[in-house]
Amino acid sequence: MARTKQTRKMVKQRFAQIQKRISLKDPRVLEKLDPKKKKLNDEKKKKALEEVRSVPQVSSALFFQYNTQLGPPFHILVDTNFINFSIKYKLDIIPSMMDCLYAKCIPYITDCVLAEVEKLGRKYKVALRIMKDPRFERLPCSHKGTYADDCLVQRVQQHKCYIVATNDKDLKRRIRKIPGVPIMYIAHHRYSIERMPDAYGAPRE
C-alpha cells in the first residue's frame, strides 16, 4: 500500500512540474530568443505612456440630452444656402422662423457667411441685401480663414445657445455629432426643426 501511495505522489509532483513550465509561445521566451521584438515592445509601451489623451469637456449647459441654454428668444445661426433656399421658395426669414418655433427669433450672420455670399458675385445680390438687414445680428470672426462651415461648427461647440439654420447635408452631419444643438432646415416649402426638445413645444415633422 505504501508503494502505491508513493507512486501516486510522484505522479502528482510530475504533473505539477509540467504545469509550471512556460510554453515556448510565451512572450517572455520569445523576447529572449529574439531581442528585436523586446525593443519593439518597449518602444510601444513608451509611446503609449507618452500619448496625451484629450477628452473634450462636457458643456455645463447640457442636462442629459437637454440644452438648458436654449429658450426664447431663440438665437439662430444662418448659413448661406438657407438664405438662398428661402429666396427660392419665397419665404420671409424672420416671420417663417417665428411660425416654426412659436417664439421670438433673432437671426445671426457671421463674417464668414457674409464673405462667402460676397464671393459668389452678382447672382446673389438679393441674399446679400437680406443679410445686411438691421434685424440680422452680425457676429465678428476672430479665427483664420473664411470657411463658413468650420466657423459655424466652432461657434456651436463653444456656445450652446444657438440653433443652426442650414440645408447643407455635410454641415448637418457635422452638427448632429454635437450634443444639444438643434438644426433648422427647409422642407415642403416651410421651416422645420430637428432635435428640438419637447419642453419648448416645437412642431414635429
Tell me which amino acid residue 55 is: V
Give the pLDDT confidence of 154-166 residue by residue, as tens digits. 999 888 889 999 9
How is the chain split into domains, by residue range? Answer: 63-200
**DSSP bridge partners of 105:** 74
In the block, cell 489623451 appears at 53
Give the list of residues 6+ apart from residue 110 with CB closer than 8 angstroms, or none.
77, 138, 139, 141, 148, 151, 152, 155
| Predicted pLDDT of residue 50 | 67
Q: Highest mean pLDDT range out of 40-44, 97-101, 197-201?
A: 97-101
| Residue in 102, 105, 114, 99 with CA at minimum distance from that of residue 186 | 99
Give the pLDDT confidence of 134-150 residue by residue, as tens digits. 999 999 988 777 788 88
Work out whether the CA dihedral 119, 124, 129, 131 comes out positive or negative: negative
Mapped onto helix, strand or coil, the DSSP state of residue 105 is strand
Question: Average pLDDT of 40-49?
Answer: 70
In CATH, 63-200 is 3.40.50.970: no
Instruction: Report helix angle 111-120 to 80-88, nearest 10.
Output: 60
Give the pLDDT confidence of 64-101 residue by residue, as tens digits. 667 778 888 999 999 999 999 999 999 999 999 999 98
198 has a pLDDT exceeding 70: no
| Predicted pLDDT of residue 195 | 75
Question: Average pLDDT of 37-64?
Answer: 66
Work out whether the CA dihedral 150, 151, 152, 156 comes out positive or negative: positive
Give the list of residues 6+ apart from residue 152 with CB closer than 8 angstroms, or none.
77, 79, 110, 112, 113, 164, 166, 171, 175
| Predicted pLDDT of residue 26 | 72
The model's confidence at residue 167, banded by pLDDT at 50, 70 and 90, is very high
104 has a pLDDT exceeding 50: yes
